[in-house]
Amino acid sequence: MQMAVISAAERSAMARARELALEGPRGINPQVGAVILAPDGSTLAEGHHRGAGTPHAEVDALSRLAPGAAAGATAVVTLEPCNHTGRTGPCAVALIEAGVARVVYGSADPGEASRNGSGRLRAAGIDVTRLDEPEADALIADWLFVQRAGRPFVTVKWAQSLDGRAAAADGTSRWITGPEARAHVHGERSAHDAIAVGTGTVLADDPQLTARIEGRADAPQPIPVVFGDRAIPETAALRRHPRPLRTAGHELDRELRALAADGIQSLYVEGGPTLASAFIRAGLADRLTVYLAPTLLGGPRTALDALGVETIDEQRRLTVTRLEQLGSDLLVEATTESEQ
């Protein structure tokens, strides 16, 4: 099979399209960027998707050109042009009508209704090539996960002593880890769409659940989600969170699907052994992020509760994907079998 030839200008345009994509919001739709190139490789126009109901990236870029100006051009897009009519029309049709001669795209569209825009373009006589780079899927990895699983990607985090305790016998837990590990946690918070705790953690610790990053007053903030039935006090710090507070019940799978329906692609579960164990027990933890502190606490306050493991044959094997020292602490990241 003959390998597709990608020009240096097209590769550079794809890198630029990924930058443009990140200017759009995360949500129900993926972040997508597009660059229109003239036959000589120069840039004619750029565009990106600005959220549900707004023009897709290709159409946004085309809208910046005079009628007919895209004839014979190349459209470079981070995601395969869509092939269906939703709130907006098919991008494949818009490109055909604009008269482009070539389309280079990154990720394949996984949607049941929207996929195969590339086939529609080829049928119209347009040269179509996929630039299969890992950066393309990485750009929208959480969105792609939602399309496959119907729920957000879930990271479960906890900090513990070397003997597996999350708190001292009297319940105090600030601080097991050092400042470097805590700074890393704030970066993780900012990288997720939402952050979850249980009502027990709210009542015991009154957490802020904000991302506080030195030198980043504009750091993205996760939406706070509280699982459980108990009332959240009006004086709780979460009531002053910059994002609207959400509450959720005990049926985790149903609640996760509701979050996905509202455009939440990733969830950071931070709140206590009860909630962390519930997600793991239900098979809903996709990544585990554990901070190990070089200290011993003893006592009953273990980092996890029962996971439904009765015998050694039922142990939940993980794949370690990252080991890193943060100050005096050790960060261990692992994926569950569902993500291996």
Boundary of a domain, candidates 76, 106, 139: 139
Q: Who contacts 257 (Cβ-Cβ below 8 Å, separation ≥6)?
A: 150, 151
Q: Are residues 270 and 251 in the same domain?
A: yes
Q: Are residues 106 and 163 in the same domain?
A: no
Q: Are residues 187 and 93 in the same domain?
A: no
Q: What is the pLDDT of residues 164-193, one digit of tens each?
A: 999 888 888 788 899 999 999 999 999 999
> What is the Cβ-side half-sphere exposure of residue 149, based on CA atoms within 13 angstroms?
26
Q: 21 phi and psi, to 5 degrees?
A: -60, -40
Number of domain units in the chain: 2
The per-residue pLDDT for 2 is 40
The per-residue pLDDT for 340 is 45
Q: Are residues 73 and 208 in the same domain?
A: no
The per-residue pLDDT for 87 is 67
Q: Are residues 66 and 201 in the same domain?
A: no
CB 156 within 8 A of CB 281: no
Boundary of a domain, candidates 90, 111, 139: 139
Does the residue 3 lie in any domain?
no
Boundary of a domain, candidates 139, 162, 187: 139
Chain-centre distance of CA 150, in angstroms? Answer: 13
Sole residue written with tokens 């049926």? 251
Q: Would you say 162 is a known binding-site residue?
A: no
Q: Who contacts 246 (Cβ-Cβ below 8 Å, separation ≥6)?
A: 194, 223, 224, 225, 226, 259
Q: What is the pLDDT of residues 69-101, one digit of tens each?
A: 999 999 999 999 988 776 667 899 999 999 999
Q: Would you say 278 is a known binding-site residue?
A: yes
Does the residue 1 lie in any domain?
no
Q: Are residues 208 and 91 in the same domain?
A: no
Q: Which two tokens stand for residue 336?
A: 């569950």
Does the residue 144 lie in any domain?
no
Q: Who contacts 242 (Cβ-Cβ below 8 Å, separation ≥6)?
A: 210, 221
pLDDT of residue 258 exceeding 50: yes
What range does the domain containing 58 cover? Answer: 8-139
pLDDT tier, 113 (very low <50, low <70, confident <90, very high otherwise):
low
Q: How far is CA 123 from CA 68, 102, 105, 316, in A?
A: 21, 13, 16, 49
Distance CA 266, CA 50 (A): 19
The per-residue pLDDT for 112 is 67
Q: Would you say 274 is a known binding-site residue?
A: yes
CATH of the domain at 331: 3.40.430.10
> What is the Cβ-side half-sphere exposure of residue 157, based on CA atoms within 13 angstroms?
21
Q: 200 phi and psi, to 5 degrees?
A: -60, -40
Does the residue 328 lie in any domain?
yes
Strand order in the sheet with 266-269: 246-248, 223-227, 194-198, 266-269, 153-161, 287-293, 329-335, 319-326
pLDDT of residue 3 exceeding 80: no
Does the residue 326 lie in any domain?
yes
> What letters, b where the CB count within 10 A reaches 16 and e where it falls short, cover 293-305?
beeebeeebbbbe
Q: Are residues 312 and 164 in the same domain?
A: yes
Q: Are residues 164 and 135 in the same domain?
A: no
Q: Are residues 197 and 56 in the same domain?
A: no
pLDDT tier, 312 (very low <50, low <70, confident <90, very high otherwise):
very high
Does the residue 226 lie in any domain?
yes
**Is 58 one of the annotated active-site residues of the chain?**
yes
Distance CA 225, CA 196 (A): 5
Over pLDDT 90: what percentage of the chain? 74
Strand order in the sheet with 43-48: 43-48, 33-37, 74-79, 102-107, 127-130
Q: Would you say 308 is a known binding-site residue?
A: no
Q: Would you say 130 is a known binding-site residue?
A: no
Q: Are residues 327 and 301 in the same domain?
A: yes
Q: What is the pLDDT of residues 192-236, one digit of tens each?
A: 999 999 998 898 888 899 998 888 888 899 999 999 999 999 999
Does the residue 246 lie in any domain?
yes
Q: Would you say 56 is a known binding-site residue?
A: yes
Q: Are residues 197 and 67 in the same domain?
A: no
Distance CA 336, CA 81 (A): 33
The per-residue pLDDT for 1 is 32
The single residue of 10, 46, 58, 255 carrying the catalytic annotation is: 58
CATH of the domain at 114: 3.40.140.10
